[in-house]
């Protein structure tokens, strides 16, 4: 007998709530925010062909669907509490749902976050998760707090997810091992949840990198009313990306997308605190430039000369 909507929810998406007052099964989930906390809420939708390729293993897709949402909470310095899952798929492919659920629950368990509800419908494959986190009132990291003189930092390494996409598109050829490495970066991003919370009292602004460094940095600069100098030579990257020709390297580093690293600013005097936050959360942090009074983004090449970046605009679903 085929699996119906309610069997599917019961079998793969219902678990006792740990932190929520009421989870899956009623008309609404119930959460009790801790005193003095604000709720941080964010949604991200994943559409096949747009946000993931049909080749992605279901388990990795389950991981990524939640990871990209947790990344938004990380960028606000919020602690994840719960999430909802709205799922549309053409039919119930048990192997797919099984794998998807396994990947999703592994990350949910690792982050101590409850699946508290959702919606399930037949249709094109489409996954929309909404995450709910909490952050002490007034302490959320925003895009608007960068000041001239602040230093600009990034977590992890940039560009591998984009390089994997280029390999899938047959624009570059990689050996088996390097390909496996960049493919994992694309399919299994690690949301910087612990680092985001550790930066609450340190960073002046933060954003997570989903659309590429230059595009996402532009959002921070616009909200904060400042400019930035970025030093190309400082941008953290893998050995695999380092082996690519210059044009590809620049494209992946500056306009890559799908990195899910945190880009943040902090006063120069907080440098040691930033490094300590990186160590405490076992997350690489790298200073990549500084905030200046105005003038948008200037990327300086290895000789300190401005690089022409006119080709690297912000990703826009309705223009790209
Ligand atoms: P309603 O018709 O009231 O919207 P549904 O019949 O859609 O409720 O869903 C029944 C219950 O299952 C609700 O608690 C809903 O939040 C939950 N639910 C539905 N789909 C999912 C899903 N994919 N993952 C988790 N919970 C789900
Ligand atoms: Mg419903």
- Which of 60-64, 76-80, 92-96, 312-316 has the lowest average pLDDT? 312-316
- What residue's CA is closest to ligand 1, atom 11? 25
Give the pLDDT confidence score for residue 5 in this predicted structure.
87
- Domain-ending residue, one of 136, 165, 196: 136
CATH number at residue 122: 3.30.1330.10
In terms of residue numbers, what domain contains 227?
151-300
- Which of 74-83, 191-200, 310-319 has the lowest average pLDDT? 310-319
In this prediction, residues 245-260 reach a mean pLDDT of 96
Q: Residue 158 falls within a domain, yes or no?
A: yes
158 lines ligand 1 (CB under 6 A): no
Residue 312 binned pLDDT confidence (cut-offs 50, 70, 90): confident
Overall size of the chain counted in residues? 320
Choice from 8, 14, 118, 131 to test ligand 1 binding pocket (greatest atom count within 8 A of CB): 118
CA of 29 to the centre of ligand 2 (A): 12
Q: Residue 318 falls within a domain, yes or no?
A: no
Give the pLDDT confidence score for residue 200 in this predicted structure.
97
- What residue's CA is closest to ligand 1, atom 1? 27
CATH number at residue 253: 3.90.650.10
Give, to the nearest 10 degrees, the angle between helix 246-255 and helix 213-224. Answer: 40
Beta carbons of 24 and 9 less than 8 angstroms apart: yes
Q: Residue 146 falls within a domain, yes or no?
A: no
Residues 293 and 159 in one domain: yes
Residues 260 and 296 in one domain: yes
Give the pLDDT confidence score for residue 196 in this predicted structure.
98
pTM for the model stands at 0.95
Residues 173 and 214 in one domain: yes
Residue 268 phi/psi, 5-degree rounding, is -55, -35
DSSP class of residue 78 equals P
Q: In what order do the strands lie in the sheet with 126-136?
A: 37-47, 126-136, 79-89, 114-122
CA of 109 to the centre of ligand 2 (A): 24
CA of 93 to the centre of ligand 2 (A): 20
CA of 111 to the centre of ligand 1 (A): 22
* Token output for 70: 């947790």
Does residue 104 register a pLDDT over 60?
A: yes
- What residue's CA is closest to ligand 1, atom 3? 27
Residues 220 and 276 in one domain: yes
In this prediction, residues 115-136 reach a mean pLDDT of 97
């Amino acid at each position: 007998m085929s699996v119906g909507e309610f069997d599917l929810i019961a079998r793969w998406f219902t678990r006792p709530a740990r932190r929520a007052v009421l989870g899956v099964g009623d008309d609404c989930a119930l959460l009790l925010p801790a005193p003095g906390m604000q709720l941080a809420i964010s949604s991200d939708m994943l559409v096949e062909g747009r946000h993931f390729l049909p080749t992605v293993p279901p388990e990795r897709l389950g991981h990524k669907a939640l990871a990209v949402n947790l990344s938004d909470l990380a960028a606000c310095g919020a602690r994840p509490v719960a999430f909802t899952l709205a799922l549309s798929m053409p039919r119930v492919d048990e192997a797919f749902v099984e794998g998807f659920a396994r990947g999703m629950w592994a990350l949910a368990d690792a982050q101590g976050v409850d699946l508290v509800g959702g919606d399930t419908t037949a249709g094109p494959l489409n996954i929309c998760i909404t995450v709910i986190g909490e952050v002490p009132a007034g302490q959320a990291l925003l895009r608007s707090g960068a000041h001239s003189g602040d230093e600009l930092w990034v977590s992890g390494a940039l560009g591998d997810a984009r390089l994997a996409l280029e390999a899938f598109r047959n624009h570059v050829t990689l050996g088996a091992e390097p390909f496996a490495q960049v493919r994992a970066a694309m399919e299994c991003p690690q949301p910087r949840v612990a680092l985001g919370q550790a930066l609450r009292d340190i960073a002046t602004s933060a954003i997570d990198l989903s659309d590429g460094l230059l595009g996402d940095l532009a959002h921070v600069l616009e909200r904060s009313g400042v400019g930035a100098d970025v030093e190309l030579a400082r941008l953290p990257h893998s050995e695999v990306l380092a082996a690519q020709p210059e044009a590809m390297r620049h494209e992946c580093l500056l306009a890559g997308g799908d990195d899910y690293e945190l880009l943040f600013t902090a006063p120069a005097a907080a440098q040691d605190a930033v490094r300590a936050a990186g160590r405490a959360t076992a997350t690489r942090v790298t200073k990549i430039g500084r905030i200046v009074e105005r003038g948008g983004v200037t990327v300086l090449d290895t000789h300190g000369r401005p690089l022409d970046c006119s080709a690297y605009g912000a990703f826009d679903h309705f223009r790209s």
